[in-house]
Amino acid sequence: MSHHDVSYLAPKENWRKTALSWIFTIDHKKIGVMYLFAVLFAFFLGGVFALMVRMELWAPKVTLPSGEVQGVAFDSLPWFGGAIEGNTLYNHLFSLHGTIMVFLFIIPSIPAALGNIFLPIMLGAKDVAFPRLNLLSWYVYLLGGFFALVSLMSFGNETGWTFYTPYSTATEYGSVTAMVLAAFILGFSSIFTGMNFIVTVHKLRVPGMGWFDMPLFIWAIYATAVIQVLATPVLGITLLMLVFERTMNIGIFDPAIGGDPVLFQHFFWFYSHPAVYIMILPGMGIISELISVHARKKIFGYRAIAFSSIAIAAISFLVWGHHMFASETAIANAIFSALTFFVAVPTAIKVFNWVATLYKGSIVINTPMLYAMAFLFCFTIGGLTGPPLATLATDIHLHDTYFVVAHFHYVMMGGTVLAFVGGLHHWWPKFTGRMYNEKLAMLGCVLVFIGFNLTFFTQFFLGSEGMPRRYATYVEEFQMLHRLSTMGSWILGVGFLVHLGVFVASIAAGRPASRNPWGGLTLEWYTESPPIEHNFPHEPVLTHGPYDFDTVVPPHCDPKDYPLPDPKEVEKFSH
């Protein structure tokens, strides 16, 4: 047995060699696992800020400490002049929540962690196309995280995650420059990952795997990678100009010396609108896997789902103007509004196909399937609250209210985060080699689902009644809804803590996982759990499609782990 045949997690001869084997690894699985730890840490950090934001909104008045009750720590910082407003501190909290969640957690979450671990295995490859570039992308991510942390230590930013000019160029608070640099650097990490994945999908598919034999997760990651490569550079140059503006006063975005602040908005959304599809598309890919595997049914409309991923990627570049209905001409608004509705078409195609896959499937209720269903519920709400925001007449009313906040969180959290946690449970046995406690994980899922809906559904009402976003205070009529939302955030927090406990218990004392605990058909279920260093002892031979549950008995699958459907029932419905 050569050293390539042992688990990628197996320790080396001594601890120093083990540490070095992780620090200098070019193994996509190890890089993915390191990314996973980092993004989960960022998720925790952003989550803490979110809980603080919700706490502040418990009462209508400013509850954060204000000028008079300053601690020593605040007084010593020069840019406050010895005093800080509770309002400012609130701006600070929601900005940090947004910036960390978007740039450090949600953009790298699925592609860089789960994508890195599973994309090459699902393609039957030994590694990604450029393993060293992959390692570089991880260290660039760390460098970006370091800058974010430096900024955090010196009070970060209170510009919101959008860094709108001219406020972001003028504000003296904290260290906006470091945070903008962090986002700029993290963009490179994202570009490198995207380039790597595109080339891997093009060049390293196992012989016999055509484009339409790929798992749908790969299609989604591929579409994401295209956006990462084509949109992120524009953010890069925008943020670079913002840094120049702050450090060298170049004035491009500064109206005082002839610059144009709206130009910043165009640049920013030209990236950041496609970026929300960088965030959601991989989640959609995970859902395709979860639903097909845990309903043991061939995915309905494979090509429609695959092409809709590409369609979403293409349309994403044409709709950035709908973030700027308040600062554009009427004609631009009309065009962007019309184009925005097109996004609903491929998205709805996906949702209908997932529901059709479930129809008469042999559905097993476990954590991944619960998360898939929670995704369908929440994401559909998130999706359907999009058209009112794309419609000019209603958007004028809803613009910059909690309705937007709720819509965004229903798509990003109810979409991406639920899919991410579901995918984490789905692939957990594969990449850790351990099973987790199904009952407790399902409890966590139920708590997250209840907490999430309580937190954000209330915000739709707040928004349509006129509660603007990003305010620390509100009129007393809103108090009940705000308190419900805050209580929801606690349930949400407890739910995630349950998941954390389940994962820790699984690593410490989980039952060893078999090769194929769920009875999946994609290539990752053919290798060991956890996979060996080169993924497969020999190049795998592809004998069936990724979802041929009607014709193929899943390999290495123990029916005791996962009951197979009654053959008579299958027979009844197959004609």
Partner 1 sequence: MTHVSTSTEDLKPHERYVPASHWRNAYDEADGAKLGMWLFLSTEILLFAGFFCAYAVFRMLYPGVWADASHYYLDWRIGGFNTLVLLLSSFTVVLAIRGAQTNRPAMTNINLIITIICALVFLVLKLGWEYYPKWVHDELPGGNFAYHSHSILEAGGYVPGSHDNIFLSIYWIATGTHGVHVLIGAFLLTWCLWLNMKGFYGPKHYTSLENVGLYWHIVDIIWIFLFPLLYLV
Shortest separation between residue 264's beta carbon and partner 1, angstroms: 10
Q: Is the dihedral of CA 138, 141, 146, 152 positive or negative?
A: negative
Select 35 or 267, whichever has its Cβ closest to partner 1: 267
The residue whose two tokens read 């986002």 is 183
Separation between Cα atoms, residue 528 and residue 123, nearest integer Å: 16
Phi, psi (rounded to 5 degrees) for 535? 75, -55
Amino acid identity of residue 75, one-letter, is: D
Shortest separation between residue 128's beta carbon and partner 1, angstroms: 8
Residue 410 in 3-state DSSP?
Answer: helix
Positions that interact with partner 1 (CB under 8 A): 125-127, 129-131, 133, 191, 194-196, 198-199, 202-204, 229-234, 236-238, 240-241, 244-245, 248-252, 254, 257-260, 263, 266-267, 534
Shortest separation between residue 219's beta carbon and partner 1, angstroms: 18
Shortest separation between residue 121's beta carbon and partner 1, angstroms: 12
Phi, psi (rounded to 5 degrees) for 254? -105, 105
Select 17 or 132, whichever has its Cβ closest to partner 1: 132
Length of the chain in residues, anyone?
575
Phi, psi (rounded to 5 degrees) for 434? -130, 145
Retrieve residue 553's tokens: 């008995």
Q: Is the dihedral of CA 400, 40, 375, 490 positive or negative?
A: negative
Separation between Cα atoms, residue 109 and residue 224, nearest integer Å: 12
The residue whose two tokens read 């929801």 is 488
Shortest separation between residue 317's beta carbon and partner 1, angstroms: 11
Select 91 or 116, whichever has its Cβ closest to partner 1: 116
Shortest separation between residue 240's beta carbon and partner 1, angstroms: 8
Shortest separation between residue 235's beta carbon and partner 1, angstroms: 9
Select 238 or 455, whichever has its Cβ closest to partner 1: 238
Select 204 or 570, whichever has its Cβ closest to partner 1: 204
Select 245 or 289, whichever has its Cβ closest to partner 1: 245
Select 254 or 289, whichever has its Cβ closest to partner 1: 254
Q: Is the dihedral of CA 196, 197, 201, 206 positive or negative?
A: positive
Q: Is the dihedral of CA 335, 341, 343, 346 positive or negative?
A: negative
Answer yes or no: are the C-beta atoms of 154 and 172 closer than 8 Å. no
Select 129 or 178, whichever has its Cβ closest to partner 1: 129
Residue 512 in 3-state DSSP?
Answer: strand
Shortest separation between residue 416's beta carbon and partner 1, angstroms: 24
